[in-house]
Structure 1
Amino acid sequence: MSAELFKYLCLAAYGVATLWLSWIGMRKTRNIRGFAIGNRDMNPYLIGITTAASVASTATFVINPGFVYVHGVSAFIHYAVAGGAGIITALLVLTRRFRALGEAGGAITVPDWIYRRYQSRSLALFFALINLMSLAFVVLILVGCSLLLAQLFPISQQTALVLIALFVFSYVLMGGTYAHAYTNTLQGVMMLAISVLIFVTGWRYFEGAPIEALGTVSQNFAAWANPDSELYFSFFSVFGSGFLITFALMLQPHILTKMLYLKEDGDVNRFVGTTAVAIVCFMLMLFVGFYARLNGLEVPQQDAVVASYIAAEFGASETCRYLLAFIGITLLAAGMSTLDGILVALSAMVVRDIYQPLSGGRPFQEGRGLMLSRVVLVIIGIIAVWMAYDPPPLVGLFAQKGVYGLGAASLVPVLFGILWKNAAPAWQVGSAAIIALAAHLLFTFVAGVSNPSISAAYGILISVGYFLILQLWRLARASRQQPVSTGA
C-alpha cells in the first residue's frame, strides 16, 4: 500500500468512525436538554478527555506554535506555563460549585445558569448575545483546519474550508452533546498520542541543552521576556495576562457546560485529574515552534508553521509519509474537537436564551427546541464559512480579540456567582461585565495594545476592582442601616 493511498484510507476511517459515534449520540438525543448537556450518564474520564480536547483545539495544535516560532520562550511561557496554570486553577476553583448550582437550578447553558443565579432575564440575554463573539474562534478553527487539509491533499484552502464545515456540521447536527463527547474522546486519544510523539521525535534539535540551542537563534528568543516582541515583553504580558485570560476563557460556554455533564460530586476529582493530565500533554505541541526554528525552516505565514514542520519532518521518506498521514488527520481532529463543542453550545444558547425569551418565553413542545437548535446550527455554519473564506492575515490575533473580550466580560458574573453564597444584585455584575468588555475593546482598538490578552486582562482587573468597591459600599451601607441597640 502506498503512503498516498494510506492517507486517504486514514481520512476515510476517521470520517466513518466519527459518523458512527454521532449516530450513537443521535439515538440518545431526544430534546434540547439532551442536545445541550446530555443526560448526565457519561463517564467522568470521558468528559475529562472531551474537555481537554475542547480547550486545546486548533489554537494549541496549529496556531499557537506559530507564536512560539516567532517570539520564542516568552510565547511558550505565555501559552504553556501561564495558560496551563490558568486552566488547572479554573478547574479546581469552578467545577464542584458550578456543577452543584447548575444541577439545582436545571440550567443547560451558561446564560441560562446566569438567569437562574441572578434572576435577571436581561442579564442572561446580554450574555447570550455577547457569546456570539465565539464565532471568532470558529473562524480560527476553520482556517487552521483548512490550511492542514490543503497541505495534505491536492485541493485549495477554500475547498478544504467548505468540506470541513460540511463534515463537522453534519455530525453535530446528528447527535449534539453526545456526538461531541464521543467524537472528542476519539479525537482526544489521537491528540495525546501525536503530541507526545512529535515532542519526543523533535527533542534532538535541542542537542541536550535546550536554552543554549534556543540562544543560537538569538538571545532575546531564548529570554523569558522578549524585548523585541510587541506581544510578550514583560512579566505581565508573558505570565500575568496569560494566567488571567486563560482562567477567564474557561468560562466559555463550550467549556464550562462540560461541568454540567457530571452526574455527582464524586465524579469531580476524576474529571479534573483527567483534564489536567491531558492538557499538560497537549501543551507539548507548542515545542513545534522551537523545533521549526531550530530546523531552519523559513515559514512566511505564521499560522502555517505546524503544517510546514510536519511536512518537512515526516515527508522525507516513504515510511515517514505513513506517519505524516496519521499526524495530519489527528491535527484536523484537534480542530474539530473544539469546533463541535462551540457549535453545540452556540446553537443551544441561541434557541434557549435568545429566541425563546424574545418569543414570549413559552416552553417548547417536545422536539421543537431540538429542531430549532439544528436550524440555528446551519445558519451559524453559513456565517462562519463566509467569515473564514477570506480571513485576516493573523487569524490567531483576530480570534483572540473576540474570544478574550467574552472571557473578560464573563469573569465577574460567573466567578463571583460561584464563589459567593448570596448572589450580588444583577445590575452590579452586569455593569462589571460591560466595563470589562468595553475596557478590552478600548485598549485594543483605541489605545493600540497589540496583545489581546493584555487588553483583556486590564478589563478583568478594572471590572473586578469596580465590583469589589461596590461590595464594600454595600457592606458599609448595610452596617449603617442596622439599628443600634441601647442598654437598659
Structure 2
Amino acid sequence: MSPELFKYICVGFYVLLTLWLSWIGMRKTYDIKGFSIGNKDMSPWVVGVTMAASISSTATFVINPGFVYTHGVSAFMHYAVAGSGGIITAFLLLTRRFRQLGEENGAITIPDWIYQRYQSRSLSTFFAIINLLSVAFVVLILVGCSLLLSQLFPISNTLSLTLILLFVFSYILMGGSYAHAYTNTFQGVMMIGVSIFIFVQGYHYFQGDISGALASIGDNYSSVFNRDSNLYYDFFSVFFSGFVITFALMMQPHILTKMLYLKSDSDVNKFLVTTILAGSCFMLMLSVGFYARLKGMDIEQQDAVVVNYIATEFMDYGWGPYALVFITITLLAAGMSTLDGILVSVSAMVVKDLYLPFSGKQGFEQGGGLMLSRVVLVVVGLLAYVVALNPPALVGLFAQKGVYGLAAASLVPIVMGTLMKKTPPIAVAWGAAAAGLGVHIIGILWLGIENPAVSATYAIILSALIPILYKAAKLLKKM
C-alpha cells in the first residue's frame, strides 16, 4: 500500500469513526443538560481520558514544544513540572466538593454553578461574559490544526481552517457532551500512543547524557532559569507562576465542568487516576522542542516546531511516511479534543446564563434550548474562524493572554465557593474576580509584562488578598 493511499484510508477511518461515535452521543442528547454535561451515565475512565485530552490539546502537542525549542529547560520546567503540579493539586483539592455542590444544585455550567453557590445573578452574568475569553484558545487550536492539515494535504491555510471547523461542527452539533466525551476517549488513546512513541523514538538525540546534550546548545538553554529568556528567567516566572496559573486554568469552563459528568463520589478516584496518568503521557510531547534543537533544525516560526520536526524526522525510514500520517492525524485529534469541549461549554453557557436570564424565561420545556445551543455554537466558531484567518505572530501568547485573564478572575471565587462551608460574601467574590481580571490586563497592556503567566500570577495574588483582608478585618472587629 502506498503512503498516499494509506493517508486517505486513515483519514477516512478517523472521520467515519468520529461521526459514528457522535451519532451514538446524539441518541442520548435530549435537552440542554444532556448537551452540556450528559446524563450522569459516563464511565469515570471515559471522563478521565476526556479531561486529560481537553487539558492537553494543541497547546501541549503543537504549540508549547515551540517554547521549549526557543527557551530550553526553563520552559520545560514551567510547563511539565510546575504546570503538572498545578493541575494535580487543583484536582485533588476541588473535584469531590465541586462535584457535590454542582449535583446538589443541578448546575450545568460554571456561571450556573456560581449563581447557585452565591445566589447572585450579576456575578453569574459577569462570569458568563468573561468566559467568552475562551474563544482566544479556540483561535490557537484552529491555527495549530490548520498547520497540521496543510502539512498532511497540499491545500491552502484557508481551506484547512474551513475543513477543520466544518468537521468539528458536524459531530458536536449532533451529540454535544456525549460526542465530546466519546470522541475524546478515542482521540486520547491515540494521543497517549503517539506521545510515548515520539518520546522514545527521539531519545537518541540525548546520546545517553541529557544534561550534557542540552548544555552543548548553551549554558542558559540548559539552565532551569534561562537568563537569556524574556519569559522564563527566575523562580517566579518558571515555577511559581507556572504552578499558580495552571492551577487557575483548571477553572476554565470546558475543564471544570467535566467534574459534573461524574455520577457519584465513588467515581472520583478512578477519574483522578485516569486523568493524571494520561496527562503525564501527554507531557512527553514537550521533548520535541529539545529534539528539534539537538537535531540542528533552524525553525523561524516557533509555533511550527512540531510540524517541521515530524515532517523531517521520519523521512529516512521506510515506514516513515506511514508513521508521519498517523502522527499528524493524532496531533489533529489533540486539537479537536479541546476545541469541541470549549464549543460545547461556551454555547451551553450563552444559552443558560445569558439568554435565559435576559429573556425573562425561567427555563425550557423538555428538549428546549438544544437548538439554540447549537446555533450559538456555530456563531462562536465562526467568530474564532475570522480571527484565525489572520492570526497574531505568536498565537500561543495571544491565547494565553485571553485565557489567563479568565483564569485569574475565576480562581478565588470558585475556590472560596468550593472549600468554604458557608456561602462566601458576594462583595468579596466580586472584588476578587474584578481584581484578577483587571490586574492581569494592566500588567499585559500597560506594565509591559511579556509572560502572561507572570501577569496573571500577580493578579491572582492580589485577588487572593481580598478575602484574606476581609477575614482579618472581621477578626479585628471582634477584638
- TM-score surpassing 0.5? yes
SS of equivalent residue, structure 1 residue 208: coil
Q: Deviations over 1:172-210 (max 9, x none)?
A: 000000000000000000000000000000000000000
In structure 1, distance between residues paired with 2:360 and 2:228: 55
In 1: Cα distance, 2:369 partner to 2:89 partner: 35
Letter in 1 for 2:357: P
**1:8 Cα deviation from its structure 2 partner:** 1.2
SS of the aligned residue for 2:103 comes to helix
Report the counterpart of residue 486 of structure 1 in structure 2.
Answer: none
1:227 maps to what in 2? Answer: 227
Give the aligned partner of residue 423 of structure 1. Answer: 423
The residue that corresponds to 2:277 in the other structure is 277
Please name the residue that 1:170 is paired with.
Answer: 170
Residue-by-residue CA offset, 1:129-177 (whole Å, 9 max, x unaligned): 0000000000000000000100111001111011000100111000000
Q: Could you tell me which residue of structure 1 aligns to residue 267 of structure 2?
A: 267
Q: What is the alpha-carbon distance in structure 2 between the residues aligned to residue 429 and residue 162 of structure 1? A: 40
Q: Is the 8 A contact 2:34 2:177 kept in 1?
A: yes
Structure 2 distance, partners of 1:423, 1:248, is 21
The within-5 A match list for 1:308-323 is 308-323=308-323
Partner amino acid for 2:204? Answer: R
Could you say what secondary structure the match of 1:227 adopts?
A: coil
Query: Residue 148 of structure 1 aligns with which residue?
Result: 148
Q: Distance in 1 between matches of 2:69 and 2:354?
A: 41
> How far apart, CA to CA, are the structure 2 residues paired with 1:361 and 1:247?
35
Contact 2:109 2:345 in 1 (8 A): yes
Instruction: State the alpha-carbon separation in 2 of the partners of residues 197 and 256 from structure 1.
Output: 30
Q: Is the 8 A contact 1:145 1:164 kept in 2?
A: yes
Report the residue type matching 1:48 in the other structure.
Answer: G
Alignment correspondent of 1:467: 467
For 1:475 and 1:54, locate their aligned partners in 2 and report how far apart those are by CA, in whole Å: 42
The answer as to 2:100 corresponding to 1:100 is yes
Please give the alpha-carbon distance, in whole angstroms, between the structure 2 residues aligned to 1:424 and 1:189: 40
Task: State the match for 1:13 in structure 2.
Answer: 13
1:28 matched residue in structure 2: 28
- 2:302 is the counterpart of 1:291: no
Contact residue 431 and residue 466 of structure 2 kept, 8 A? no
For the 8 Å contact 2:428–2:466, the answer to whether it is kept is no
Match of 1:212, SS state, is helix
TM-score, normalised on structure 2?
0.99
2:411 alignment counterpart: 411
Equivalent-residue separation in structure 2 for 1:155 and 1:316 (angstroms) = 24
Tell me the CA shift for residue 256 of structure 1.
Answer: 0.3
Deviation at 1:362, TM superposition (A): 2.3
Tell me if structure 2 keeps the 8 A contact 1:3–1:318. Answer: no
Give the letter for the 2:226 counterpart.
N
Output the CA distance in 2 between the equivalents of 1:383 and 1:75.
Answer: 31
Query: Residue 123 of structure 1: CA displacement?
Result: 0.3
Deviation of the 1:212 alpha carbon: 0.5
Residue 367 of structure 1: CA displacement?
A: 2.2
Q: Deviations for 1:26-50, whole angstroms, at most 9, x for unmatched residues?
A: 0000000000000000000110000
Give how far 1:315 is off. Answer: 2.5
1:351 and 2:351 aligned: yes
The answer as to whether partners of 1:436 and 1:459 remain within 8 angstroms in 2 is yes
Is contact 1:68–1:290 with CA below 8 Å preserved after alignment?
A: yes
Decide whether the 8 Å contact of 2:139 with 2:387 is kept in 1: yes
Confirm or deny that 1:195 pairs with 2:191.
Answer: no
Q: Secondary structure at the match of 2:369?
A: helix
Q: Distance in 1 between matches of 2:335 and 2:315?
A: 22
What's the counterpart of residue 182 of structure 1?
Answer: 182
Aligned residue type for 1:346: V
The root-mean-square deviation of aligned C-alpha atoms, in Å, is 0.8
Deviation of 1:5 after TM superposition, in Å, equals 1.1
Stretch deviating more after TM superposition (311-320 or 323-332): 311-320
CA-CA distance at 1:258 after TM superposition: 0.4
Matches of 2:69 and 2:370, distance apart in 1 = 44
| Greater alpha carbon shift after TM alignment, 95-104 vs 425-434 | 425-434
Distance in 1, matches of 2:90 and 2:4, equals: 43
Matched, 1:380 2:380: yes
Aligned amino acid, residue 297 of structure 2:
L
SS at match of 2:155: coil
CA distance in 2, matches of 1:131, 1:295: 40
Superposition pairs of residues 112-151 of structure 1, within 5 angstroms = 112-151=112-151
Number of aligned residue pairs: give it.
Answer: 479
Q: Secondary structure at the match of 1:300?
A: coil
Identical aligned residues as a percent: 63
- How far residue 467 of structure 1 moved from its aligned partner, in angstroms, is 2.0
Determine helix, strand or coil for the equivalent of 1:6.
helix
- Using the TM superposition, give the Cα deviation of residue 86 of structure 1 relative to its aligned residue in structure 2, in angstroms: 0.4
The CA distance in 2 between the partners of 1:366 and 1:46, in whole Å, is 27
- Aligned pairs (5 A) from 1:27-106: 27-106=27-106
Bigger shift: residues 198-207 or 359-368: 359-368
